[in-house]
């Protein structure tokens, strides 16, 4: 009971820090803080259309968060998730373009998911291979590959896949409606996307909890030396974790193409990969907390789009709130361990 | 861009490298003391924004640069405090700060976007700039560039030729041993993180006040922080080698502009990402230099051996693992 009480106290404490900090930032920018908060709230949940935008952001965020749970388990920092999502989108677009000529277009829509997963997994395997065989830290390998993926997208949009006549940052030509993810007009959402996210969450939870892979990932992550003595191949499981992460990120990229934008554009990944890293950290690597935090972050992202229109502020305020939340959570967590250490010392 | 002038090419390489050199030097100092500051990319943007805004409001470039240094120091002190005293993962804190400081920069700098502000004027060194070829490259620049070049030597000298530098390196190698030799390792790690962070802040200021004057979204400094982090490894934690890496990177960036002129059908963005895969490639080579099989294979081949030797280096032993007093 006291533990619950303490946790709630800590959460409130962290929220107060974040709230104070963000308010100060808003005041520094010369903006009315409460009006800004109100517009973010209204912008995210004020109408059904906006709520559907939130869900459209929530889907890729949660998918990436699922993937990251595998890599974090084994202590890998899969910063390359952003590029993995981009490559998922590239492979999906390639598959759909291939299908344009075919008489069975809708079939290619379903192939494109597999293509997206493959694309993300290939990119993740690249980073994993560089880490295990090339001795390159996964952060740098991932980042480098992110930049390469961005370059590939730009090259495709301005080169081979450019729109007839004009090549521009607005992306490739929009696919015909037959190539769009089935969409319920009544709720402006695709049941397929929601179904895939639920499936991803369930699979990840089961994999990490009940399978050998899940156990080994955790064993290596917690104690690499003990795992080595047990004969668990670290490199192999690192690659497996990367493949899962890349696969989920690729699926997220795939859904961005088929379900949201219906074309390939430079900002197809919208930084959701990086944001998912923050989601998982704030969820304290807990799979059941991650979707809720992803939802909250999605609200912030969608809501803050209102800021430039209504208050002439930059929409990056959402990033400031999200970052300070994670920092505050880390600080509170550190404070707790610090106190625990001290109280142990007191008993001795 | 059809004409190709070597003097102009080299002069633009040296000028463009100035902020990258400063950031790489700062991170080298920080990592030599055993702390990884992953927040570089965001720190550079935040300090670039702050320096530009302050210099614009006060009309004083020096105040602008000082602001940049202070911002860099503050962000670095957060990373160091979280890791050294609160024992949190440096990578996690650094990564969060990278994203957060970047967004903070865009948010707070919004109203100062795309306006004309003060910028550092060129300062030619009299007589010296008349030397053919070398003159315009090394002595026809501005004070920021001179400062960056001077700091390469000063950093090296401090690290390898002074007792304080020896202490600094010992903290990065073995903080516990340094502690028993009477050095307050945790305090020194804080101090050197802040010092390194101030260099990074200056790099940001150098961007918005000299190399790419002005502020906007995007500013043009995006990605530099990550490059600087990779350069530290590329340089094997040696300030001189890291600086050479910075000049190589600047060379690639400048060449990108030329290539764009020569191959107009390929979009500019493709050349801008080219240095990143090259960076990964060098990191792989560096890893190979530490493998027995490769070393024995190169034993007979003298030139390969010397190339490998150039790339071989090891990280400070306790990098990223601050020491916990009992």
In chain B, residues with a C-beta closer than 8 Å to the C-beta of A320 are 100, 103-104, 107
Which of B82, B110, B277 minimises the CB distance to A330?
B82
If one counts every other C-beta atom within 10 angstroms of the C-beta of residue B322, the result is 21
Q: Do the beta carbons of residue A319 and residue B102 sit within 8 Å?
A: yes
SS3 per-residue string spanning chain B: CCCCCHHHHHHHHHHHHHHHHHHHHHHHHHHHCCCCCCCHHHHHHHHHHHHHHHHHHHCCHHHHHHHHHHHHHHHHHHHHHHHHHCCCCHHHHHHHHHHHHHHHHHHHHHHHCCCCCCCCCECCCCCHHHCCCHHHHHHCCEHHHHHHHHHHHHHHHHHHHCHHHHHHHHHHHCHHHHHHCCCCHHHHHHHHHHHHHHHHHHHHHHHHHHHCCCCCCCCCCCCHHHHHHHHHHHCCCCHHHHHHHHHHHHHHHHHHHHHHHHCCCCCHHHHHHCHHHHHHHHHHHHHHCCCHHHHHHHCCCHHHHHHHHHHCCCCCCCCCCCCCCC
- The answer to whether B267 contacts A134, with C-beta atoms less than 8 Å apart, is no
> Which of B92, B101, B82, B104 shows the shortest CA–CA distance to B41?
B101
> Which of B137, B123, B155 shows the shortest CA–CA distance to B16?
B137
How does the average pLDDT of chain A come out, rounded? 90
How many Å is the maximal CA-CA distance in chain B?
Answer: 66
pLDDT value at residue A345: 57
Nearest chain B Cα distance for residue A71, angstroms:
14
- Alpha-carbon separation of residue B215 from A313, B47, B199 (angstroms): 15, 11, 20
Cβ–Cβ contact B91 with A under 8 A: yes
pLDDT value at residue A114: 96
- The answer to whether B284 contacts A274, with C-beta atoms less than 8 Å apart, is no
Cβ neighbourhood burial of B193 (10 Å; 0-12, 13-18, 19+): buried
> Which of B99, B192, A70, B12 shows the shortest CA–CA distance to B1?
B12
Residue A153 or B299, more confident: A153
Mutate which of B45, B75, B101, B108 to disrupt the A interface (most A C-beta within 10 Å)? B108
Q: ipTM, 2 decimals?
A: 0.90
Please report which helix (H) or strand (E) contains residue A132, including its range. Answer: helix A105-132
Cβ neighbourhood burial of B32 (10 Å; 0-12, 13-18, 19+): buried
Cβ–Cβ contact A143 with B under 8 A: yes
pLDDT value at residue A1: 52
Which of B92, B107, B277 minimises the CB distance to A317?
B107
- The answer to whether B230 contacts A324, with C-beta atoms less than 8 Å apart, is no
CA dihedral B59, B40, B256, B209 (to 10 degrees): 0
pLDDT value at residue A347: 46
Query: What's the whole-number mean pLDDT along residues A243-263?
Result: 95
Could you give phi then psi for residue A276, rounded to 5 degrees? -65, -35
pLDDT value at residue B59: 92
All residue ranges of chain B with pLDDT < 50 are 1-2
Answer yes or no: is pLDDT of A348 > 60: no
> Which of B269, B231, B268 shows the shortest CA–CA distance to B249?
B231
The pLDDT tens digits of the residues spanning A99-141 come to 888 888 778 888 999 999 999 999 999 999 999 988 888 988 9
Return the percentage of chain A with pLDDT > 70, whole number: 97
Lowest model confidence (mean pLDDT) among A78-82, A237-241, A286-290, B300-304: B300-304
The pLDDT tens digits of the residues spanning A1-31 come to 567 788 888 889 899 999 999 999 999 998 8
In chain B, residues with a C-beta closer than 8 Å to the C-beta of A134 are 280, 283-284, 287
Mutate which of A80, A132, A284, A319 to disrupt the B interface (most B C-beta within 10 Å)? A319
Query: What's the whole-number mean pLDDT along residues A279-289?
Result: 93
The pLDDT tens digits of the residues spanning B274-326 come to 777 777 777 787 777 777 777 777 777 777 777 777 777 778 888 888 877 76
Cβ neighbourhood burial of A248 (10 Å; 0-12, 13-18, 19+): buried
C-alpha to C-alpha distance for B140 and B150, rounded to whole angstroms = 15
Cβ–Cβ contact A45 with B under 8 A: no
Cβ–Cβ contact B278 with A under 8 A: no
C-alpha to C-alpha distance for A44 and A33, rounded to whole angstroms = 17
Could you give phi then psi for residue B213, rounded to 5 degrees? -60, 140
Tallying the residues shown for chain A, one arrives at 348
- The answer to whether B108 contacts A25, with C-beta atoms less than 8 Å apart, is yes
pLDDT bin (cut points 50, 70, 90) of residue A290 is very high
- The answer to whether B283 contacts A281, with C-beta atoms less than 8 Å apart, is no
C-alpha to C-alpha distance for B123 and B146, rounded to whole angstroms = 9
Task: Name residues 29-58 of chain B within 8 A of A (Cβ).
Answer: 38
Q: Which residues pair with B122 in a beta bridge?
A: B142
- Alpha-carbon separation of residue B294 from A137, A243, B299, B309 (angstroms): 20, 29, 9, 12
C-alpha to C-alpha distance for B89 and B82, rounded to whole angstroms = 8
Answer yes or no: is pLDDT of A273 > 90: yes
pLDDT value at residue B3: 54
Alpha-carbon Rg of chain A, whole angstroms?
22
Answer yes or no: is pLDDT of A149 > 50: yes
- The answer to whether A79 contacts B88, with C-beta atoms less than 8 Å apart, is no
Answer yes or no: is pLDDT of A320 > 50: yes
Beta strands in A62-136 (DSSP E): none
Query: What's the whole-number mean pLDDT along residues A68-97?
Result: 95
Q: Do the beta carbons of residue A262 and residue A92 sit within 8 Å?
A: no
In chain B, residues with a C-beta closer than 8 Å to the C-beta of A72 are none
> Which of A18, A15, A100, A80 shows the shortest CA–CA distance to A243?
A80
How does the average pLDDT of chain B come out, rounded? 88
- The answer to whether A155 contacts B270, with C-beta atoms less than 8 Å apart, is yes
The pLDDT tens digits of the residues spanning A35-69 come to 999 999 999 999 998 999 999 999 999 999 999 99
CATH class, domain B6-311, is mainly alpha
- Alpha-carbon separation of residue B270 from A119, A140, A173 (angstroms): 20, 19, 21
């Amino acid at each position: 009971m006291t533990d619950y009480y303490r946790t709630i106290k800590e959460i409130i404490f962290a929220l107060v820090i974040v709230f104070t900090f963000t308010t100060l930032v808003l005041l520094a920018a010369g903006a009315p803080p409460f009006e800004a908060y109100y517009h973010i709230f209204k912008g995210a949940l004020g109408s059904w259309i906006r709520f559907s935008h939130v869900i459209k952001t929530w889907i890729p965020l949660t998918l990436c968060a699922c993937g990251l749970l595998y890599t974090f388990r084994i202590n890998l920092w899969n910063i390359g998730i952003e590029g993995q999502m981009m490559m998922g989108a590239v492979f999906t677009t390639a598959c759909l373009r291939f299908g344009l000529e075919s008489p069975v277009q809708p079939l290619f829509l379903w192939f494109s998911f597999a293509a997206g997963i493959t694309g993300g997994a290939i990119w993740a395997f690249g980073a994993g291979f560089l880490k295990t065989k090339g001795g390159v830290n996964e952060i740098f390998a991932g980042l480098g590959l992110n930049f390469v993926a961005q370059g590939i997208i730009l090259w495709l949009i301005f080169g081979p896949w450019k729109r007839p006549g004009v090549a521009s940052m607005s992306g490739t030509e929009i696919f015909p409606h037959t190539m769009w993810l089935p969409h319920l007009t009544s709720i402006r959402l695709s049941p397929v996307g929601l179904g895939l996210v639920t499936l991803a969450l369930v699979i990840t939870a089961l994999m990490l909890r009940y399978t050998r892979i899940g156990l080994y990932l955790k064993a290596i992550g917690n104690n690499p030396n003990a795992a080595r003595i047990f004969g668990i191949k670290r490199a192999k499981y690192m690659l497996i974790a990367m493949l899962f992460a890349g696969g989920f990120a690729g699926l997220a990229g795939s859904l961005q193409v088929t379900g949201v934008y219906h074309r390939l554009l430079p900002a197809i990944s919208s930084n959701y990969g990086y944001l998912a890293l923050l989601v998982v950290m704030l969820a304290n690597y807990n799979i059941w907390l991650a979707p809720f935090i992803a939802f909250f972050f999605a609200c912030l992202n969608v809501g803050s789009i209102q800021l430039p229109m209504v208050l002439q502020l930059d929409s990056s305020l959402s990033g400031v709130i999200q970052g300070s939340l994670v920092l505050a959570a880390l600080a509170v967590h550190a404070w707790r361990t610090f106190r625990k250490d001290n109280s142990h010392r007191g008993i001795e | 861009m059809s004409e190709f002038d070597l003097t102009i090419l080299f002069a633009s390489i040296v000028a463009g490298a100035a902020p990258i050199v400063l950031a790489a030097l700062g991170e080298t100092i920080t990592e030599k003391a055993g702390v990884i500051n992953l927040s570089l990319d965001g720190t550079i943007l935040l300090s670039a924004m702050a320096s530009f805004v302050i210099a614009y409001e006060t009309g004083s470039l020096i105040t602008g640069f000082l602001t940049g240094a202070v911002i860099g120091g503050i962000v670095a002190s957060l990373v160091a405090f979280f890791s050294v005293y609160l024992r949190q993962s440096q990578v996690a804190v650094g990564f969060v700060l990278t994203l957060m400081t970047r967004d903070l920069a865009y948010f707070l700098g919004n109203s100062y976007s795309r306006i004309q502000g003060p910028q550092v004027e060129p300062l030619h060194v009299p007589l010296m700039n008349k030397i053919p070829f070398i003159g315009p490259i090394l002595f026809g620049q501005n004070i920021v560039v001179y400062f960056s070049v001077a700091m390469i030597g000063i950093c090296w000298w401090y690290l390898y030729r002074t007792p304080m530098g020896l202490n600094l390196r010992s903290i990065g190698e073995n903080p516990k041993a340094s502690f028993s030799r009477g050095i307050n390792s945790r305090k020194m790690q804080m101090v050197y993180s802040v010092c390194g962070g101030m260099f990074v802040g200056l790099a940001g200021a150098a961007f918005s006040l000299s190399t790419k004057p002005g502020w906007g979204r995007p500013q043009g400094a995006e990605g530099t922080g990550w490059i600087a982090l990779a350069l530290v490894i590329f340089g094997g934690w040696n300030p001189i080698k890291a600086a050479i890496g910075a000049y190589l990177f600047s060379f690639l960036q400048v060449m990108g502009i030329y290539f764009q002129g020569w191959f107009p059908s390929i979009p500019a963005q493709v050349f801008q990402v080219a240095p990143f895969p090259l960076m990964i490639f060098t990191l792989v080579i560096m890893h190979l230099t530490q493998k027995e099989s490769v070393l024995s294979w190169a034993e007979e081949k003298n030139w390969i051996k010397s190339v490998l030797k150039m790339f071989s280096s090891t990280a400070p032993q306790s990098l990223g693992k601050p020491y916990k007093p009992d």
